[in-house]
Amino acid sequence: MKEVFRKMKKLYRNKKLIKNLILLAAGVFVLAAGTVIILLSSMRIPDFHSFENRKVVNSTQIYDRTGEILLYDIHQDIKRTYVPSEQMSFNIKNATVAIEDSEFYNHSGIRITAIIRAVLSNFFGTGRTQGGSTITQQLVKNTLLTQEKSYTRKIKEWILAVKIDKSIPKEKILEYYLNEAPYGGNVYGIEEASKTYFNKKAQDLTLLEAAYLAAIPQSPSRLSPYGSHKDELEARKNLVLRRMLELNFISLEEYNRTKSEVVAFAEQATLGIKAPHFVFFIKDYLEQKYGSEAIEKGGLKVITTLDYELQAKGEEIVKEGALRNEKDWNGENAGLVAIDPRTGQILTMVGSRDYFDKAIDGNYNIATAQRQPGSSFKPFIYATAFNKGFTEDTVLFDLPTEFQTTCDPSGRALPGKNQRDCYMPDNYDGKFRGPMSLRSGLAESINIIAVKLFYLAGLPDSLRTAESMGISTLTDIGRYGLTLVIGGGEVSLLDMTSAYGVFANNGIKNPYTGILKVEDLKGKVLEEFRPKPQEVLPKNTALIISD
């Protein structure tokens, strides 16, 4: 009997101990819960409703005339092109879910078991970082919160993830995530990653390509296809495929076939820009029309008029010619512009022999800079004269001629007059040819014939002709005299090329343009090339000049 009583007493003491432990645990729980409630009430949690209305930074991309060759990607800090879910391959969606969050379609924004595991791991100090982050949590971290590592930030992340999961469809959450995910360097979003690594759009990714891209966001710098840890990238790619197989996203046959395939990554861009002088000419135009913020953040797609094959040839020709001129004449630079006179579209623009050569200020665009045109201005004078009734057979005399009435025929100033006012031009070879037709005078670029014709045609009318054809810089008529005809003014190579196009196009002017089409992020056309032909010269005049 005593033994029974002793056992009952021991059992009572054990029950009391258990009860006390339960009460203690409950007290700790209540205290912890109260602390969490107080902590949460004092936290400033971002308004998740602003998530869908946030302004996503997208790069503006400038292409050649085919829309296939990317000339430049304008951005502040990142390269990103936002695309909707329907423009993403199902391969990349499945691969991402498989490796990042296999329970994505089943949980409510967070995984309780993963959170408990993370808390215990951190509490017991196992030395491993246990984040337990779902795709929704990663999206919150990338868009609404800072990157600090703290318990309060983690709690905010959990709360926002649950709220977002309740209010936004899963497919939309995945779309947001894939447009925000980092893929190495300044490349963000699956569309930009697809272009960077495979030269294709996200909707065209194969299973193998998708597996590689899904592998990268865990450690974008270390797992870069261009880095020194390709073996790690390969291993994680295989892990992606294995997880897809386990989740029945792919068949065993697809797994085995894809695992053994070899992918060809695009060559890593070195300079990041093609046809730089032309690109910045276009960028200046875009900024003037749409503003800097729209260009740097708005994600415009710009199709230019540039023929990149011709551009590459032009750059080669300019460099060879400039180096040859430097050796022979000490002229170290050159430029080139090619325009289709039928449309005004700029096909080639080379602003120096080497944009990146600082020794010659290579980034300075000679094509748009103002320079004295030399004898290339003469055709505008001849065109003005032909419009006034002169013909190609009209004869003028190529003889020593003083054009200033305050000087004698020998070019000496009359008494009381300034010698600097005298003007008696020479020809380039110092010779005089006597009577010449205007046709011969233009063909042989005879200075004296050109100056005489300029005198007869008149300065105001000659400038009006040049302006109507596209010369935009000779606006101050008081600055110019007869020297203008042999290069006394300043014009740009771009203007001169455009104006010469009038002669080639039977007197029809098409203003130069570098733009074929500009679209906004949603594909809305903001501007598109439309021909604007205008007859500025009689057809016969243009034919005589160009014949």
pLDDT surpassing 90 at residue 271: no
Quote the pLDDT of residue 509.
98
With the CA atoms of 231, 233, 239 and 245 taken in that order, what torsion angle do they form, in degrees rounded to the nearest 10? -110
Sign of CA dihedral 19, 24, 30, 33: negative
Residue 401: CB atoms within 10 A of its CB come to: 18
Quote the pLDDT of residue 74.
82
pLDDT band, very low/low/confident/very high, at 368 (cuts 50, 70, 90): very high
For 191-202, give the DSSP string: HHHHHHHHSS-G
Encode pLDDT of 39-49 as tens digits: 544 555 555 55
**No. of H helices and E strands in the chain?**
19, 13
Bridge partners of 72, per DSSP, are 62, 273
**Displacement of CA 150 from its chain's centroid (Å):** 37
Q: Average pLDDT of 487-495? A: 90
From 199, 231, 195, select the one nearest 215 (Cα to Cα). 231
Give me the amino acid identity at 136. T
In angstroms, the CA 528 to CA 87 distance is 24
- Residue 69 DSSP one-character state: S
Placement of tokens 């002017």 in the chain? 509
pLDDT surpassing 50 at residue 245: yes
Encode pLDDT of 337-353 as tens digits: 999 999 999 999 999 99
Quote the pLDDT of residue 173.
92
To the nearest whole number, what is the mean pLDDT of the chain?
86
- Residue 75 DSSP one-character state: -
For 519-536, give the DSSP string: E-TTS-EEEE-----EE-
**Displacement of CA 259 from its chain's centroid (Å):** 35
In angstroms, the CA 471 to CA 449 distance is 23
Long-range contacts of 536-541 (CB under 8 A, 24+ apart): 536/468, 536/469, 536/502, 536/507, 536/508, 536/509, 537/383, 537/387, 537/465, 537/468, 537/469, 537/502, 537/503, 537/507, 538/387, 538/507, 539/506, 539/507, 540/386, 541/383, 541/386, 541/387, 541/507
> Both tokens of residue 372?
């004295």
Question: Going by DSSP bridges, is the β-strand pair 301-304/60-63 parallel, antiparallel, or unpaired?
Answer: parallel
User: Beta-strand (E) ranges in 297-454?
Assistant: 301-304, 336-340, 345-350, 370-371, 395-398, 434-437
- Among 54-68, 139-153, 370-384, which stretch is predicted with the lowest mean pLDDT? 139-153
pLDDT band, very low/low/confident/very high, at 33 (cuts 50, 70, 90): low
In angstroms, the CA 488 to CA 428 distance is 15
From 184, 189, 196, 153, select the one nearest 46 (Cα to Cα). 153
Placement of tokens 């009435």 in the chain? 405
Quote the pLDDT of residue 391.
96
From 357, 368, 350, 272, select the one nearest 307 (Cα to Cα). 350
Q: Average pLDDT of 210-217? A: 96
Do residues 69 and 199 lie in contact, with contact meaning Cβ atoms separated by under 8 Å? Answer: no
Sign of CA dihedral 189, 194, 200, 205: negative
Residues 6+ apart with CB under 8 A from 113: none
Quote the pLDDT of residue 506.
97
In angstroms, the CA 145 to CA 157 distance is 8
User: Beta-strand (E) ranges in 66-222?
Assistant: 70-74
pLDDT band, very low/low/confident/very high, at 465 (cuts 50, 70, 90): very high
Quote the pLDDT of residue 326.
87
Quote the pLDDT of residue 41.
47
Encode pLDDT of 419-430 as tens digits: 999 999 999 999
Tell me if domain 88-260 and domain 374-515+532-546 are identical in fold. no
Quote the pLDDT of residue 98.
96
pLDDT surpassing 90 at residue 57: no
pLDDT surpassing 50 at residue 523: yes
pLDDT band, very low/low/confident/very high, at 159 (cuts 50, 70, 90): confident
Quote the pLDDT of residue 141.
82
Phi, psi dihedrals of residue 253, rounded to the nearest 5°: -65, -45
Encode pLDDT of 107-132 as tens digits: 888 887 777 766 666 655 554 444 46
pLDDT band, very low/low/confident/very high, at 1 (cuts 50, 70, 90): low
Burial class (CB in 10 A: 0-12, 13-18, 19+), 389: exposed
**pLDDT greater at residue 160 or residue 281:** 281
Q: Which fold has domain 374-515+532-546?
A: Beta-lactamase (3.40.710)
Quote the pLDDT of residue 157.
80
**pLDDT greater at residue 91 or residue 182:** 91
pLDDT surpassing 60 at residue 294: yes
Encode pLDDT of 407-421 as tens digits: 999 999 999 999 999
From 265, 283, 287, 264, select the one nearest 273 (Cα to Cα). 283
> Both tokens of residue 473?
């810089």
- Among 34-43, 376-385, 504-513, which stretch is predicted with the lowest mean pLDDT? 34-43
Residue 452: CB atoms within 10 A of its CB come to: 22
In angstroms, the CA 461 to CA 498 distance is 20
- How far, CA to CA in Å, does 88 sit from each of 94, 140, 423? 11, 21, 72
Do residues 495 and 467 lie in contact, with contact meaning Cβ atoms separated by under 8 Å? Answer: no
Q: Average pLDDT of 442-446? A: 95
Residue percentage of the chain with pLDDT more than 70: 84
pLDDT surpassing 90 at residue 51: no
For 251-264, give the DSSP string: -HHHHHHHHH----
Quote the pLDDT of residue 4.
47
- Among 10-19, 209-218, 229-238, which stretch is predicted with the lowest mean pLDDT? 10-19
pLDDT surpassing 50 at residue 215: yes
Q: Which fold has domain 88-260?
A: Penicillin binding protein transpeptidase fold (1.10.3810)
Radius of gyration of the chain (CA): 37
Q: Average pLDDT of 252-268? A: 91
Range with the largest mean pLDDT of 110-124, 162-176, 213-227, 342-356: 342-356
Range with the largest mean pLDDT of 50-59, 250-259, 357-366: 250-259
Residue 110: CB atoms within 10 A of its CB come to: 20
Domain borders along the chain are 88-260, 374-515+532-546
Angle, CA of 253, 105 and 200, to the nearest 5°: 55
DSSP H helical segments within 229-291, as ranges?
230-246, 252-260, 276-290
